[in-house]
């Protein structure tokens, strides 16, 4: 486990935050195919909002929030059992993604003159950290995260990724911490240290449907992004290396826009919908507003804040009607991902913000998902 560097770094933020939710767990959730036990935790605040978390993949399995009438629903896609998360029905639902989220061109990069080769699991590229030991597929250690300065309670997941795992250099010590406060804000804090120079870009990969998970479509959701630029990509979804203005394009969400209004124009690009990184206009060390997503019928609203330079908009273009939690079907484009982090293929793109972590440095990524009903 990491020394509690991450908890110490959180002190100033949590000192000024509203009171934190209570934590229940760990509780047995089942076993993996190789017999390893999996456990869950539940965060619950005084408003009745609950967030369920799982040690497999440091995953969010449920987020239950009210609509404008006070009716609760789970708004993230997931499964009722471990088998679902280990099946081909799972498309990174709710998990922690890495070591490097998003795509790396042709599964390779060069660092200090040495070429590193990675798994090609999204032909012809590498996606989301690999195949067998990417962060979504491992069992994380877990504990209550209690800040001794503030008394804030949450859940801390930790994992030690050995040098060479999935082809990446460096021994990584990783922590992911989840806190829910009384303002219905879910804080996600990700921290990493490494003993070697290595690329790191973590994110959470939850699919949201604010009408309730299992609702037929998310294309009626309204979206506003604090992004004046986006990352153009080729037909394999690898960046061209340039950034372009969103103004006058189908990527312009600077004003609130229904997600489905222009999505059909993307169908012949290889993306089959939105699967693009938008470059946030304001880049700050502290979390800054990045996105606002709203379901007009229920009024449920999600705002996303982060300290990262990008946010990946993905509209569930490869969902295929698989059965999820409660037997509900997850149809094509019935979930929206808003993944905060570095820009895609940054390790091969010299003009993009660097994702290289060096020894004695500390990778930190903050994302805040805040829920309300309007």
Residues that are catalytic: 205, 339
Residue 18 DSSP class: P
Contact in structure between 321 and 332 (CB atoms under 8 Å): yes
Rounded (5°) CA angle 299-305-311: 95
Q: What is the 3-state secondary structure (H, E, C) of 308-360?
A: CCEEEEECCCCCCCEECHHHCEECCCCCEEEEEECCCCHHHCCCCCCCEECCC
Rounded (5°) CA angle 360-365-367: 165
Q: 314 — phi, psi (to 5°)? A: -130, 130
Tell me the torsion sign for CA atoms 60, 175, 28, 82.
positive
CB atoms within 10 A of CB 270: 12
**What does the DSSP assignment read for 135-168?**
GGGSBPEEEEEE-TTT--EEEEEEEEE-TTGGG-
Question: Can you read off the two tokens belonging to residue 373?
Answer: 């009903």
């Amino acid at each position: 486990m990491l020394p509690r560097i991450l908890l110490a770094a959180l002190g100033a933020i949590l000192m000024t935050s509203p009171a934190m939710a209570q934590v229940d767990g760990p509780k047995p959730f089942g076993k993996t195919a190789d017999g390893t036990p999996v456990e869950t935790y539940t965060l619950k605040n005084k408003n009745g909002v609950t967030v369920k978390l799982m040690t497999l993949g440091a995953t969010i399995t449920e987020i239950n929030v009210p609509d404008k009438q006070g009716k609760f629903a789970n708004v993230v896609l997931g499964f009722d059992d471990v088998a679902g998360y280990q099946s081909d029905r799972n498309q990174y639902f709710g998990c922690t993604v890495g070591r490097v989220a998003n795509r790396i061109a042709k599964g390779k990069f060069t660092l200090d003159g040495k070429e590193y080769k990675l798994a090609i699991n999204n032909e012809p590229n590498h996606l989301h950290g690999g195949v067998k030991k990417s962060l979504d597929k491992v069992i994380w250690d877990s504990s209550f995260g209690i800040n001794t300065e503030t008394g804030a309670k949450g859940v801390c997941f930790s994992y030690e990724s050995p040098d060479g795992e999935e082809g990446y250099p460096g021994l990584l010590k990783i922590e992911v911490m989840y806190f829910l406060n009384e303002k219905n804000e879910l804080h996600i804090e990700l921290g990493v240290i490494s003993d070697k120079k290595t690329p790191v870009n973590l994110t959470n990969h939850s699919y949201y449907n604010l009408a309730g998970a299992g609702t037929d479509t998310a294309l009626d959701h309204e979206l506003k992004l604090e992004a004046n630029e986006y990352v153009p990509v080729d037909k394999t979804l690898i960046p061209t290396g340039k950034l372009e203005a969103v103004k006058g394009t189908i990527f312009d969400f600077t004003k609130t826009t229904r997600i489905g209004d222009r999505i059909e124009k993307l169908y012949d690009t290889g993306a089959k919908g939105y699967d693009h990184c938008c470059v946030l206009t304001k880049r700050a060390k502290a979390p800054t507003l990045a996105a606002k997503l709203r379901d007009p019928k229920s009024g449920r609203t999600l705002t996303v804040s982060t300290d990262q330079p990008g946010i990946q908009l993905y509209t569930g273009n490869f969902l295929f009607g698989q059965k999820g939690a409660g037997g509900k079907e997850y149809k094509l484009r019935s979930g929206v991902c808003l993944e905060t982090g570095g820009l895609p293929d940054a390790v091969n793109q010299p003009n993009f913000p660097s994702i290289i972590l060096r020894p004695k440095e500390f990778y930190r990524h903050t994302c805040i998902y805040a829920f309300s009903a309007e």
